[in-house]
Chain A
């Protein structure tokens, strides 16, 4: 499998009156071709700076960037027609209509005029395409930004917070659209703060903190790796639960009360049967033993809670 994006040792330091500010500190990133790849990080983690460096809006202080095999920014013009990018807020001429703004972009690259109508239809903006951009809501502006990305029919889409400002219906449509684009074989690289959305649409994610990559894996692996906690269903009242907790603690398990007030243990999935055995030996029989699945949000918070511990600079 070839890679759509390869970043090695990317650093970016901004100059400011209070001295240099390091926004990205040796970030490594590999995005394979095809599918939806999430790019997660807290505010100020370096997501937008990385994306700006990817599309040539700023020069990296050091490091190497390859996009669709071309070095950025030097060779970017060779592949730019295969890349669609939406960086932060979509920026268009406020007094031109949405359609006119897209027509200008289409004409600048010689794309057929009918593409404008098609992409406006795709993002659900066809009815308001004739209105001035300045009159659009934040969500509509975001849709127009995505339409501008789709105009090129790109192999690689780089989207910075595409669901920003969308209403629930818009978020659902965006989710469906990104999933479809990823399933078509395109590479969708999407940064987002809405982790539940990322969990639903992404095949792979990269988590960054303080300008460095903390973790890259498939969403499945990331969440599966977190399934070391099991909810222990004990029939009976509180006293039975207390006895079970005592038995499990005595057997060497880490026992705690889960968010719902039930009994839970922390154990590797392959050792889950040991819980059953310990309780059965004490004549306590389980109603169920079910893994407690953590959300991407929980995993993300855990990974980014202590960047120093994960090797990222403070």
Chain B
């Protein structure tokens, strides 16, 4: 327990952790200030489509001529019940990326400073050291993600209370948001463990970030296009879907059928990566 507390304290003391929190706070606050200062209502012309053919969904099929319609008054005030839920869902992938960044930098700093040799002179049980570090990195990243979401929710609630709509906020809604916060914090933790594991294997902080982006943008789409069955087995896809949770709003989840499935696939892959990195760490010689 002492080791875990020390590791957690180290994660918290790292500059990277503080920078993420400060930048997140500034970004959220900036957006909230803009939302507060912009006009509460705006008058817009509703587009009228003429000489168009429409598909069954009511969208224009081809190039249409758009003519101005009757001006309507658009309510731009923050509606806490709808907007916070949307905002939290929108941060999912970003929080997973923040987790990858934190997980990789927190371990990469150890390799950079060669501080593991000093630590192993205090605790030579490498398995214990590795598991504790992984747990601390996951908890710290989850806490940072949760912290950012609390800042987002707090500021949005304040703006909504001052110049927006807070109708519909009740115990059930709060419980749903708490669950969503827990899921997003878990996505941050999974991202951190992915970053931690890849950094442990490659011994380079940047490797995890590159691996995440390359897998997300190139490797996984390529594999899925080549082998259809691969879609349900892709770790980064699973992680981003877990963070976004398309199932709750019926927003498409590929071949994944449930949130639990995305969580399971992402967790199994990430656990394997952390395990391989741990075996390498256990067998490595510190010179």
Contact = CB atoms under 8 A, between A and B. Distances in A.
Interface size class of chain B, counting residues whose CB lies under 8 Å from the partner chain: 20 to 34
Most buried by A among B15, B113, B115, B124: B124
Contacts of B122: 80, 105, 108-109, 152
A96 B114 contact: no
Given A57-B285, A107-B6, A109-B2, A96 B13 contact: yes
A108 B285 contact: no
Interface size class of chain A, counting residues whose CB lies under 8 Å from the partner chain: 20 to 34
A117 to B, nearest CB: 18
Given A58-B286, A148-B118, A91 B113 contact: yes
A100 interface: yes
B118 A107 contact: no
B2 A93 contact: no
B287 interface: yes
B9 interface: yes
Given A57-B120, A77-B124, A104-B10, A94 B2 contact: no
Contacts, number: 79
Given A52-B286, A59-B285, A104 B9 contact: yes
Contacts of A96: 13
Nearest to B8: A107
A73 B124 contact: yes
A100 B13 contact: yes
Contact of B121 (A59, A85, A110): A85
Interface in A58-104: 58-59, 73, 76-77, 80, 83-87, 89-96, 100, 104
Interface string B99-126: 0000000000100011111111111110
A85 B119 CA distance: 10
Contacts of A170: none
A93 B3 contact: no
A108 B3 contact: yes
A87 B124 contact: no
Given A87-B117, A93-B109, 11 more contacts: A55-B120, A57-B120, A80-B122, A91-B115, A93-B115, A95-B15, A104-B9, A109-B3, A109-B123, A110-B2, A148-B121
